[in-house]
Amino acid sequence: MTIVGHLINGEVRTDAARTQDVFNPATGLATKQVALAAKETVEEAIAAAQAAYPAWRNTPTGKRAQVMYRFKALLEQHADKICEMIGDEHGKISHDAAGELQRGIENVEYACGIAELLKGEHSRNVGPGIDSWSEFQPLGVVAGITPFNFPAMVPLWMYPMAIACGNTFVLKPSERDPSSTLFIAQLLQEAGLPDGVMNVVNGDKEAVDVLLSDERIKAVSFVGSTPIAEYIYSTANANGKRCQALGGAKNHAIVMPDADMDNAVNQLLGAAFGSSGERCMALSVAVAVGDAAADALVAKMKEAMKPLKVGSATDSSNDFGPVITRQHQQKVVGYIDSAEQDGATVVVDGRNPQVEGFEDGFFVGATLIDGVTSEMTSYQEEIFGPVLQVVRVDSMEAAMQLINDHEYGNGTCIFTRDGEAARYFSDNIEVGMVGINVPLPVPVSYHSFGGWKRSLFGDLHAYGPDAVRFYTKRKTITQRWPSSGVREGVSFSFPS
């Protein structure tokens, strides 16, 4: 069976002391294995990055940008192969995988402008003959720890900008779907990146803990669940590292009585069930204001969900694919069971979908649950599956209070025709990414991505302008060249 290895100092290596099966979630079969890095392997990757850092740090920004331009072209050239890899190991349908990859490519495009982004600031004659300026210098060796749900996009949130800023990188991707991530890193090597600048180590908690404790790692970026994000953030900080850790979500969409209901339903279908709901920006709760709006929403959603197709990534006509593991399938079904036991109504039941030819796959069908309340476990926790819950409230204020009271604050949106309501919502909602009639308000690459509350640990968001700040440190230089023959007296006052 094929073993997916590591990329260390420009070479693909297999550390086979420990391995783990990699499944095709549509068939339920193990198709390959992934090597799980031992402590020594991770340390070798860090050492390779540290050795490559001085030369890469001093490489002109224009040459770093040229690598990113070539990398972008290679990603586009090999897009079909990358999407196929994602489908085989994640289960994502080709059109969804292509969208993921394109969003990642956009971050590479942003990194291509690194010469402009690192120009710094300059002030002449801040005092007599004195100039002052700021520079943004790289940190050194930095690390990324990424989740299974976006094996191409999320790593591309991190290392293109980190590397363009002059750092070297060690990536620990998800061990559940590692092939596309490793292949993309090899394309970066093909684009002309020197050996050791980019390294990939597959592994589990043993590998993660090395990255969090090794003093050579200066910063860690993480995307995953909130409990793990909190652990990553606290451990990295305890070891003196800069850290941004993006956690979980429970994203609400307010559906106002004046909303274009047909449009809201179409938008909710993709936002709730795309990627099988396995994305931190999935809309998992529709908060309907008033019973009339709720009844209309539920009726239209029930009808619109009838033609939805769940199935294998090999059929591009499917709307979404399986969830990532058998255990996660059971967990999602457990949340549906829990909501029903707590008194909610399962309007459309996706617990036992029949997918011909893929009876052993990890499938959950699109599910709609009405009558959900904030006391229910299924409401409080992140389901991370193709499940949309409907909560009924009497007013927009009550809907906003529901959202503001939740521990997560990643993304939200409102469907309305009322500009005043939309403005009030965007001003007062306590969530990091807000959509107005936009169900998945994922920022474009030249803005930054991140939530509030327990959806983000750290001060800086991912990618965009915040990425430049996260992967660099500011140095301010004040310089004077005294005129010849001019001597100043001693001064003990604070300079002004």
Instruction: Note down pLDDT in tens along the chain; length 496 residues.
Output: 899 999 999 999 987 789 999 999 999 999 999 999 999 999 999 999 999 999 999 999 999 999 999 999 999 999 999 999 999 999 999 999 999 999 999 999 999 999 999 998 999 999 888 999 999 999 999 999 999 999 999 999 999 999 999 999 999 999 999 999 999 999 999 999 999 999 999 999 999 999 999 999 999 999 999 999 999 999 999 999 999 999 999 999 999 999 999 999 999 999 999 999 999 999 999 999 999 999 999 999 999 999 999 999 999 999 999 999 999 999 999 999 999 999 999 999 999 999 999 999 999 999 999 999 999 999 999 999 999 999 999 999 999 999 999 999 999 999 999 999 999 999 999 999 999 999 999 999 999 999 999 999 999 999 999 999 999 999 999 999 877 766 677 878 887 7
Q: 216: Cβ–Cβ under 8 A, 6 or more apart, which residues?
A: 46, 47, 49, 50, 140, 141
The token duo for 230 is: 């909190």
Which listed residue (83, 165, 243, 280) is catalytic? 280
**280 is annotated as an active-site residue:** yes
| Distances from the Cα of 483 to the Cα of 9, 130, 291, 495, angstroms | 50, 11, 79, 19
Domains of the chain: 3-247+455-477 (3.40.605.10), 251-436 (3.40.309.10)
Q: What is the pTM assigned to this prediction?
A: 0.95
Report the alpha-carbon distance of residue 71 to residue 65 in Å, rounded.
10
The token duo for 485 is: 């023959």
Handedness of CA 267, 153, 469, 242 (dihedral sign): positive
- Position 486 scores a pLDDT of 66
- Position 485 scores a pLDDT of 66
In DSSP terms, 132 is beta-bridged to: 123, 478
